[in-house]
């Protein structure tokens, strides 16, 4: 890379040849406002908000499409620039409705922010505003308000360049121009809601989040999407201990700026369920509530007498939980069949932009932790159906509800001499169990996932679990001393430190070294 020196607002900045002024300024921590520019999309240069003054150039230039050059002198706050931005803002607001009180973008709207920074004056426009379509449904997840649109064309470029599905276009010219769907097309590709994320105003809004809560009430927790093994970085945004939405976090090593629709909305199925808050134990009348001490004793006693034993761990369980689960099963059975849930699926070309073929976000991590003894999940499932086990310990998966073999699995589980199910709700599988242990979901956990490419990433607890439920690692930690395994770790961080000592591939890692963007493991020891 050829280095280039330039001066921005009196500061010497060193960047590389080929970069745009707006990128060089951003790298130096100098903010240049913009609407249409996006680092992962082609340059449109149509909003004119990023105008800057460049020495020896007679006119103001757009920073998004001006290459840096040696010795260039740039002013981002000169009187000419400030006046130009004020004029741009006045122009963009000519036909914009006063929807702020009812607009879902309020609180994170760039028009609001830039008005306060660069305009802050009453409108001089006295003519009738041009009206456009209101609340037009573009697709199952996206609604469009044409009057709020500033024609930045980010949505159009995203659908042309990232998904390559091209559902939207710009129609007409001047103040009659508008964003619309191509005839007969619906905005329902697998990454469609990213157009909401990149819309800088309230023109495109999320139908699922719409009118739920004002954004300034949201608590934002950095975490990892539990939808598949890509491990997209997300912000879990909550209100009153409920998830309101997922938003993508930028991580160029994993998901860039994007998040698929399936992952974005997967929290509904995982968290909006009737929660188990007390252990259950089977008696003559069926499953009845009991205390934790009784339930754990019954689970250990029953499983200890039910060899050969099968252990199934959810792919949504963390590395820390997988590490302890493997130890529990190893102590309960001399030759257990132990596997992490795994099922592949076919993906379309658009899905391949972000999705993984398996839905288990921590399949790789669980395998690294030793949760694999019998040649794969499919083999374990076949052996379960064939009746090769007398007992089973199933964590976080409803095997009875699997398509295809659900009824065969039900019959196999009914024949087991002892079944323990650990889950957040009373699933069809849990209803067959002799002991049911209430656990927590991914949004209530702290721990780590290892994605399909071997990147270790951190989950952070965004919700408070219901009273009576325990984290999976806490349940395993309570079981281990009773099966003769000493445990000195009392937090997920301490368990991870134990992992770093015992598993070479994770040697030297800690929560601090993982950070918010994760850390890549060596491919040399990757377990497939």
125 touches 215 (CB < 8 A):
no
Residues 6+ apart with CB under 8 A from 58: none
Tokens linked to 182 = 């191509």
Q: What are phi and psi of 338, to 5 degrees?
A: -130, 125
C-alpha torsion 365→367→368→372, nearest 10: 160
**Range in 60-69, 150-159, 486-495 with the lowest mean pLDDT:** 486-495
Q: What are phi and psi of 258, to 5 degrees?
A: -110, 165
The pLDDT assigned to 2 comes to 87
| pLDDT one-digit tens code per residue, 294-340 | 999 999 999 999 999 999 999 999 999 999 999 999 999 988 999 99
Residue 527 has pLDDT above 70, yes or no: no
Cα–Cα distance for residue pair 414/459, rounded to 1 Å: 35
The pLDDT assigned to 526 comes to 44
Averaged pLDDT for residues 418-431? 97
Q: What proportion of the chain, given as a percentage, has pLDDT over 90?
A: 88
| pLDDT one-digit tens code per residue, 134-163 | 999 999 999 999 999 999 999 999 999 999
Residue 61 has pLDDT above 70, yes or no: yes
pLDDT band at 387 (very low <50, low <70, confident <90, very high): very high
Averaged pLDDT for residues 279-305? 95
pLDDT band at 121 (very low <50, low <70, confident <90, very high): confident
Would the CA dihedral through 463, 466, 472, 475 be positive or negative? positive
pLDDT band at 278 (very low <50, low <70, confident <90, very high): very high
Q: What proportion of the chain, given as a percentage, has pLDDT over 70?
A: 99
Q: Tell me the pLDDT of the chain averaged across its residues.
A: 94
The pLDDT assigned to 59 comes to 95
Averaged pLDDT for residues 394-405? 94
- The pTM (predicted TM-score) of the whole model is 0.93
Q: Indicate the angle between helix axes 472-479 and 292-304, nearest 10 degrees.
A: 60
Q: Which fold has domain 100-105+129-271?
A: Alpha-Beta Plaits (3.30.70)
| pLDDT one-digit tens code per residue, 346-375 | 999 999 999 999 999 999 999 999 999 878
pLDDT band at 451 (very low <50, low <70, confident <90, very high): very high
B/e letters for 306-343, b = 16+ CB within 10 Å, e = fewer, are: beebbbbbbbbbbbbbbbbbbbbbbbbbeebbbbbbbe
| Architecture in CATH for domain 280-525 | 3-Layer(aba) Sandwich (3.40)
Residue 522 DSSP symbol: P
The pLDDT assigned to 420 comes to 98
Residue 514 has pLDDT above 50, yes or no: yes
Tokens linked to 180 = 């619309």
The pLDDT assigned to 523 comes to 64
| pLDDT one-digit tens code per residue, 170-214 | 998 887 899 999 999 999 999 999 999 999 999 999 999 999 999
The pLDDT assigned to 335 comes to 87
Residue 524 has pLDDT above 80, yes or no: no
Averaged pLDDT for residues 414-428? 97
Residue spans per domain, the chain: 3-92, 100-105+129-271, 280-525
Residues 6+ apart with CB under 8 A from 132: 145, 146, 147, 149, 178
Q: How far apart are the first and last CA of the chain?
A: 36
| Architecture in CATH for domain 3-92 | Roll (3.10)
């Amino acid at each position: 890379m050829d280095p280039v020196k330039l001066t921005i607002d009196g500061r010497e900045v060193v960047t590389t040849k080929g970069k745009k002024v707006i990128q060089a300024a951003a790298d130096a921590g100098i903010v240049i406002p913009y609407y249409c520019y996006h680092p992962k999309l082609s340059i449109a240069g149509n909003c004119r908000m990023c105008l800057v003054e460049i020495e020896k150039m007679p006119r103001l230039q757009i920073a998004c499409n001006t290459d840096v050059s040696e010795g260039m002198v740039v002013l981002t706050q000169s009187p000419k620039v400030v006046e130009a931005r004020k004029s741009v803002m006045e122009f963009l607001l000519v036909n914009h409705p006063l929807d702020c009180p009812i607009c879902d973008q309020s609180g994170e709207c760039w028009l609001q922010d830039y008005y306060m920074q660069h305009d802050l004056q009453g409108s001089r426009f006295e003519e009738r505003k041009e009206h456009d379509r209101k609340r037009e449904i573009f697709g199952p997840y996206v609604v469009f308000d044409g009057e709020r649109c500033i024609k930045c064309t980010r949505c159009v470029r995203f659908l042309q360049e990232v998904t390559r599905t091209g559902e939207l276009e710009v129609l007409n010219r001047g103040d009659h121009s508008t964003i619309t769907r191509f005839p007969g097309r619906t905005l329902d590709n697998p990454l469609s809601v990213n157009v909401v994320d990149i819309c800088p105003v309230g023109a495109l809004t999320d139908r699922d989040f719409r009118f739920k809560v004002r954004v300034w009430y949201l608590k934002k927790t950095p975490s990892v999407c539990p939808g598949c093994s890509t491990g997209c970085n997300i912000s879990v945004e909550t209100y009153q201990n409920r998830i309101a939405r997922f938003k993508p976090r930028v991580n160029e090593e994993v998901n860039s700026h994007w998040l698929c629709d399936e992952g974005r909305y997967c929290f509904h199925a995982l968290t909006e369920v009737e929660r188990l808050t007390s252990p259950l134990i089977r008696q003559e009348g069926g499953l009845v509530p009991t205390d934790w001490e009784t339930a754990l004793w019954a689970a250990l006693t029953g499983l200890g007498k039910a060899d050969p034993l099968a252990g199934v761990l959810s792919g949504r369980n963390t590395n820390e939980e997988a590490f302890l689960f493997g130890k529990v099963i190893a102590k309960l059975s001399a030759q257990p069949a132990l596997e992490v849930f795994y099922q592949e699926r076919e993906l379309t070309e658009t899905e391949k932009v972000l999705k993984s073929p398996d839905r288990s976000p921590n399949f790789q991590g669980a395998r690294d932790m030793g949760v694999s003894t019998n040649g794969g999940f499919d083999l374990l499932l076949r052996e379960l159906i064939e009746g090769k086990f007398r007992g089973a310990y199933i964590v976080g998966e409803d095997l009875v509800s699997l398509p295809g073999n659900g009824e065969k699995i039900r019959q196999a589980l009914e024949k087991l001499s002892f079944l323990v199910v650990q889950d957040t709700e009373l699933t069809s599988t849990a209803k067959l169990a002799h002991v049911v242990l209430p656990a927590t979901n991914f949004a209530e956990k702290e721990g780590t996932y290892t994605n399909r490419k071997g990147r270790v990433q951190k989950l952070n607890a965004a919700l408070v679990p219901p009273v009576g439920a325990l984290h999976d690692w806490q349940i395993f930690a309570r079981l281990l001393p009773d099966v003769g395994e000493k445990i000195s770790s009392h937090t997920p961080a301490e368990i991870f430190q134990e992992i770093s000592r015992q598993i070479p591939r994770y040697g030297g890692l800690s929560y601090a070294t993982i950070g918010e963007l994760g850390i890549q493991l060596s491919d040399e020891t990757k377990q497939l």
